[in-house]
Amino acid sequence: KKFKIATRQSIVDISKGAINALKYLIHVLLIQNEMTKFHFLVLIGMANFLWMFLCYVFLLKSDTVEGFDVRKHLSTVTSYAVGKELANDGFVSSSIPNGCTPIHLNLVARHGTRSPTKKRIRELDRLASHLEDLVNDAKDAAEKGKLALERVPAWIQGWQSPWKGRKKGGELISKGEDELYNLGIRIRERFGDLFSEEYHPDVFTIKATQVPRASASAVAFGMGLFAERGNLGPGKHRAFSVTSESHASDLLLRFFDTCETYKQYRKNQEPTVLKLKQPILDQISSALVSRYQLNFTTQDAASLWFLCKQEASLLEVTDQACGLFTPSEVSLLEWTDDLEVFMLKGYGKSVNYRMGLPLLRDVVDSMEQAIKAKEEHHVAGTFEKARLRFAHAETVVPFSCLLGIFLEGAELARLKHEQALELPPKPPQKRNWRGSVVAPFAGNNMLVLYNCPTKQTSKYYVQVMHNEVPVPLPGCDGSDFCSFEVFKEKIVNPHLQHNYNSVCSAKLEEPETLSFSSKLSKLFSSLFSLKKYEAVLHKTKLEL
């Protein structure tokens, strides 16, 4: 901060000197060319205005950079509190009509903040070793007078990974526990009537994948949701049930593991994604070399960006790895992550989200069962009031796409006509598709079913919320509060012309047949353009 203030003052002083020189020059010209006093005063006024304008522009730019918060640009590694704040984009939600009461709630949530996986921990260990080599090379160069060691960030010298020595990873950390625990408390407070009933596993169904961080998230959520509802310990907790399916058969929450068409598509598409990211990684690695006089590679740039995200999100450290990048570089790196999520898990290909049809059907079935129970006046405690699911970003992102969230303009019509969507625009252009909003840690979709007996058009309505914030649905004319009939007709039914088996057993389109010379040319082109990035591809896959 002191450096920024000193730099700002230096520029102001230089500006003053330049303006004074301009004034002197004008004075000389006045004498030599016999300029009128009026002309002289005009030029002096212009010079003063120029100085004030330069100072204003500089101060404005400086404040903008100082106000840049890297924690808001971490794509899917963003913490829930930040992602929830970003989700509130000014959309004015519908007012729930008087007499409408919630009768059922569906939740699809991602696990909370977690530690790096063991694969990523090994990557950070390799980064530490390579940084040590780079620092040693820099010291040798400094002794020979070829490099100013002051340009090497102090934290890099002797840096070790915070997860050094860890043999396991990927577990839910305490911050992630807090995210889900507090989410459970807020949902109970917001929908008190729904959760006032005595707990029963058939009334409040809780499901999670078999991955420990997902099931741990379900437990943390349940502890918040049912806090002080039992007799266990000083906190008056109560036991509750969390059920899971095996990886091989979990079509509701891990459909991405069982859909062969999707797995083949992803494998085929990853080189294309990498090719789109290459120029950004090249550009930024070159900038880092120039800025710090260390021979950073493209892999170093990718690993340092990963480290930045982990430090900022998990450790609240933003002045080490994140400090290496300028705000514009952070925005570009964030965009490359968002691009990958869009292409491999979002609207980039219909199989990405249509493989989630079993989950969509399950959500709609639960609503229809709740409506039936209401219409038939079932006794309280004999029907389900909430179905709560805890999984992964690979679950939440496709489900969001099935609902049509984050679509812009005429994109819904393009999807219905099987037309590909444009990729998220590159910064500084604005975009709806941001991983920090689409799927931050603990990111979630809630669908609340309301009974509105006084409404004449329909008795049942659905409100959709993303990260607890009501969101407009293109299929419901941009409203977040939609009659159940319209919700089914405009949002659900268009997807139901497909089914999981047909989507996930379909063969991908074969590329057009190429001549021998074309194949040979393509082979050499691929070898030279992608070979040095293959390692980056395997080491920097976005882990959700």
Q: pLDDT tens digits for 324-376? A: 999 999 999 999 999 999 999 999 999 999 999 999 999 999 999 999 999 99
The whole-number pLDDT of residue 73 equals: 98
pLDDT of the residue at 5: 36
**∠ CA(69), CA(73), CA(78), 5° rounding?**
105
Residue 26 has which token pair? Answer: 């004008």
Is position 84 within any domain? yes
Residue 222, pLDDT score? 98
The proportion of the chain whose per-residue pLDDT surpasses 90, expressed as a percent, equals 73
Q: Which residue has the tokens 């049912």?
A: 226
* Domains held by the chain: number: 1
- Higher pLDDT: 45 or 384? It is 384
Written as one string, the DSSP assignment of 222-255 is: HHHHTTTSS-BTTTTB-----B---GGG-TTT-H
Query: Is 17 inside any structural domain?
Result: no
> Is the pLDDT reported for residue 30 higher than 50?
yes
**N- to C-terminal Cα distance for the chain?**
35
pLDDT at position 7, please?
A: 40
Tell me which of 114-128, 229-243, 414-428 is least confident: 414-428
Give the pair of three-digit tokens for residue 440.
Answer: 């931050």
Q: Indicate whether 209 belongs to any domain.
A: yes
In a domain, 309, yes or no: no
**Amino acid type, 429:** Q
- Identity of residue 96: I
Q: Collapse the DSSP code of 18 into the 3-class scheme (helix H, G, I; strand E, B; otherwise coil) and give the result.
A: helix
pLDDT number for residue 537: 46
Percentage, residues of the chain above pLDDT 70: 81
In a domain, 231, yes or no: yes
Residue 17: predicted pLDDT? 60
Q: Is residue 212 part of a domain?
A: yes
Q: Is residue 374 part of a domain?
A: yes
The average pLDDT across 459-487 equals 95
Read off the pLDDT band of 28 (50, 70, 90): low
Instruction: Please report the pLDDT score of residue 66 as a whole number.
Output: 61
Q: What is the pLDDT of residue 25?
A: 59
Give the C-alpha separation, 407 to 194, whole Å.
31
SS3 helix, strand, coil % of the chain, rounded to 5? 55, 10, 35
Cis peptide upstream of residue 428 (ω within 30 degrees of 0)? yes
Strands 460-466 and 469-470: antiparallel
- Pairwise CA distance, residues 486 & 466, whole Å: 19
- DSSP characters for 169-203? ---B-HHHHHHHHHHHHHHHHHTTTTT-SPP-TTT
* Residues paired with 464 in a beta bridge: 447
More confident residue, 30 or 225: 225
| DSSP-derived pairing of the beta strands 444-451 and 204-208 | unpaired
Question: CB atoms < 10 A from the CB of 6, how many?
Answer: 10
Please say if the pLDDT value at position 152 is more than 80: yes
The string over 384-420, giving b where at least 16 C-beta atoms fall within 10 Å of a residue's C-beta and e elsewhere, is bbbbbbbbbbbbbbbbbbbbbbbbeeebbeebeeeee
User: For 235-261, b where at least 16 C-beta lie within 10 A, e where not — what string?
Assistant: eebbebebebeeeeebbbbbbbbbbeb
Both tokens assigned to 189: 């407070």
pLDDT at 410: 83
DSSP string, 44-95: HHHHHHHHHHHHHHHHHHHHHHHT--GGG--GGG--HHHHHHHH--S--PPP
- Give the torsion through C-alpha atoms of 465, 466, 468, 473, to 10 deg: -30
469 or 515: whose pLDDT is higher? 469
Burial of 104 (0-12, 13-18, 19+ CB in 10 A): buried
* Local structure of 331: helix, strand or coil: helix
**pLDDT over 50 (residue 292):** yes
Mean pLDDT of 457-476: 95
Prediction pTM value: 0.83
* Rounded Cα–Cα distance for residues 74 and 52 (Å): 37
Burial 492-522 (b: 16+ CB within 10 A, else e): beebeeeebeebbebeeeeeeeeeeeeeeee
pLDDT tens, position by position, 47-100: 666 656 555 444 444 334 568 999 999 999 999 999 999 986 778 888 999 999
Listed range (210-219, 292-301, 452-461) with the worst mean pLDDT: 452-461
Provide the pLDDT for residue 147.
84
CA dihedral 338, 341, 347, 353 (to 10 degrees): -150
- Cα 495 to Cα 235: distance, rounded to the nearest angstrom: 45
Position 390 in a domain: yes
| Reported confidence tier of residue 235, pLDDT bands at 50, 70, 90 | confident
| Residues spanned by the domain of 227 | 70-115+170-259+341-498
- Listing DSSP states for 441-494 in one string gives TT-EEEEEEEE-TT-SS-SEEEEEEETTEE--BGGGTTBSEEEHHHIIIIIIHH
Look at the block and give the residue holding tokens 């068409």: 261
Q: For residue 461, what is the domain's CATH number?
A: 3.40.50.1240
CB of 303 within 8 A of CB of 123? yes
Query: Would you state the structure tokens that stand for residue 3, as one six-digit string?
Result: 């450096």
The mean-pLDDT minimum among 60-64, 230-234, 515-519 falls in 60-64
Report residue 4's pLDDT band, with 50, 70 and 90 as the boundaries: very low
Q: For residue 323, is pLDDT > 80?
A: yes
